[in-house]
Structure 1
Amino acid sequence: MEKLIPVALLLFAVMHSGIVSVNGKPAVPNPRQQSAFKLVTANTKFALHLYRQVASQPSSAGKNIFFSPISISAALSMLSLGARASTRNQLLQGLGYSNMSQNDAAEVHETFKCLLQTLTREGSELNLTIGSALYIQQGFVVKPKFIEDAKQFYKSEAISVNFMESDKAKEQINAFVSKKTDGEIQEFIKTLETSTVMVLLNYVLFKGSWEKPFNPRSTYEADFHVDDTTTVRVQMMTKSGTYDSGYDSQLSSFVIRVPYDGNASLVLILPAAGKLAEVEQNLTITNFLHFFYSLRPSYAGLHIPKVSLKESYKLNEQLSSMGITEMFSRDADLSGISESEPLTVSKVTHEAVLHIDEKGTKAVAVTGAEITLMSAFSQPEHVFNRPFLLLIVDHNIKSVLFVGRVLNPTI
């Protein structure tokens, strides 16, 4: 029986968000963005599908949720560069790429390159950093094309490390993650198997400043109703202004878009009382696009709690439920990475951090895969004082950068 070498896929993201304004409907993607449009649709579909999987897990009951789907998509898409046969097909289909030239992997990578260039282009007001890294065991032979393609399409860098000295390797990788996430994620790697030959990382850092900052002097203490029997005290920010908002009857939710400086917004979804679980399971790409384009400007008072979240996930089970199973098994074909020994993915982990305050938002996420040998007048008041959903969305191509659920802002 062949011995499988594990590969770790690790993903992290950090986000600081502030509000960005949009005048009217978001612009239709220009010709340069058209090639990425189908990919964004696939990524959004994947993001909402993964959210439903995470929310339905018993381990998520009563907990906040926050992750960066674009970090996870980028990491898994980069991994697919080295996957072959049914392993690659499962990855592409699970990521929602089945409508792209009949799973043409080359188109996936070309369009991902275009997407990353669009999101991080020079001169953009969107303060977003996305990158990847491959930590490779010293002496382990990796195909040059895999490394070259990872660099070309996913802005990855290759770094040599000795996983046999697991403590030193862990320290080296964690220092890299800490640097890339402004110190928000300092101990991403908790343990490393000595049989690990590669750790694949993707990181996302977003810093957003509100287009119209909240006045700290207006922040007040208020009740937040976690459930029918639990109430906590929170710091509630408030500001009156004109926001794109509306009530979505399909989701039984009030939706409001709070803009950042630049081409992004924080989209807040407040389900009707008792409807949270129903809304989560009905949050599909069709519903997402419906409410995104149906919002209309109106003047109102907005009340949202200050939030600081740090969430981590091992995604093997959720991804398997979405049809991505083979890469975790003895049937994995990762021969596009190396043919020296059979490889398998031992774990996919993700960690994300979110801070929302009067100045804006900071969000960070990391994804990793470990590969081993196998107001003053009458106005509407929108008060987010019970569990709500949030998305951070790029305006130009509607890319979902982060998605989450705030059940309790104090934990």
Structure 2
Amino acid sequence: IETMEELYVANTIFALNFFKHLANASATQNLFFSPWSISSTMAMVYLGARGSTADQMAKVLQFNKVGVREGTPMTPENVTGSESMQQIQKGTYPDAILQAQAAGTIHSSFHSLSSAINASTGEYLLESANKLFGEKSAGFKEEYMQLSKKYYSTEPQAVDFLECSEEARKKINSWVETQTKGKTKDIFSVLLSS
């Protein structure tokens, strides 16, 4: 429960920071956005991030404040995996292990929150759906695909933004229209050729 509360707080801080940024950039316009959708979609991206990219994302999204706990000291006897062993040998393992523990906690918490949001509660319906569409030439690692399905109940979809951008746009619009039961059509309008 404590981690879920930390995630609520982290998402709230991120949402307020994001709102302030948008409000400053568009002071004369009305704003409408879903902090939950942005945060959960960025968590899907964070799932595949590594190194300084993961660190920067954690800081902006406030994930660096969720689920980090001091635990059992890690030693070569109770750590598996070649990357972890290399970190132990280099003496860099505590930060890496805390980051891995926190990341797993974050994604598990997003899964729990998403399940709660999408649970039927009777006469009212509240649903959330997110999906990543990525350039097919970049590819997605199999492990990322599996973890995305486990934690976010979706797999990223590869599309050809470079050669068939109009087809990719239509595919994204179709997915959004299906997920919103026809309420949101053409979220991305016709792309202009450059």
Specify if TM > 0.5: yes
What letter matches 1:128 in structure 2?
Answer: L
In the other structure, the counterpart of 2:148 is 150
Question: Does 2:50 align with 1:84?
Answer: yes
In the other structure, the counterpart of 1:50 is 18
Change (3 A) 1:140 1:95: closer
Deviation at 1:159, TM superposition (A): 3.4
In the other structure, the counterpart of 2:172 is 173
Larger radius of gyration: 1
Change (3 A) 1:186 1:115: same
Deviation at 1:125, TM superposition (A): 5.7
What letter matches 2:166 in structure 1?
Answer: D
Q: Deviations over 1:348-381 (max 9, x none)?
A: xxxxxxxxxxxxxxxxxxxxxxxxxxxxxxxxxx
Identify the match of residue 135 of structure 1 among 133, 142, 161.
133
SS at match of 2:63: coil
Give the number of aligned pairs.
160
Distance 1:44 1:144 in 2: 32
Structure of greater relative contact order (alpha carbons < 8 Å, 6+ residues apart): 1
Change (3 A) 1:181 1:88: same
In the other structure, the counterpart of 2:41 is 75
Distance 2:6 2:193 in 1: 38
SS at match of 1:98: helix
Higher helix share: 2
Change (3 A) 1:97 1:138: closer
In the other structure, the counterpart of 2:186 is 187
C-alpha RMSD of the superposition: 2.5
Shift >4 Å, 4+ stretches: 136-140
What letter matches 1:107 in structure 2?
Answer: T
Question: Does 2:8 align with 1:40?
Answer: yes
Change (3 A) 1:38 1:50: same
In the other structure, the counterpart of 1:121 is 119
Distance 2:146 2:172 in 1: 21
Deviation at 1:109, TM superposition (A): 0.8
Distance 1:107 1:42 in 2: 13
Which runs of 5 or more residues in structure 2 are unaligned?
A: 69-97
What letter matches 1:56 in structure 2?
Answer: N
Is contact 1:119–1:126 with CA below 8 Å preserved after alignment?
A: no
Is contact 2:41–2:132 with CA below 8 Å preserved after alignment?
A: no
SS at match of 2:132: strand
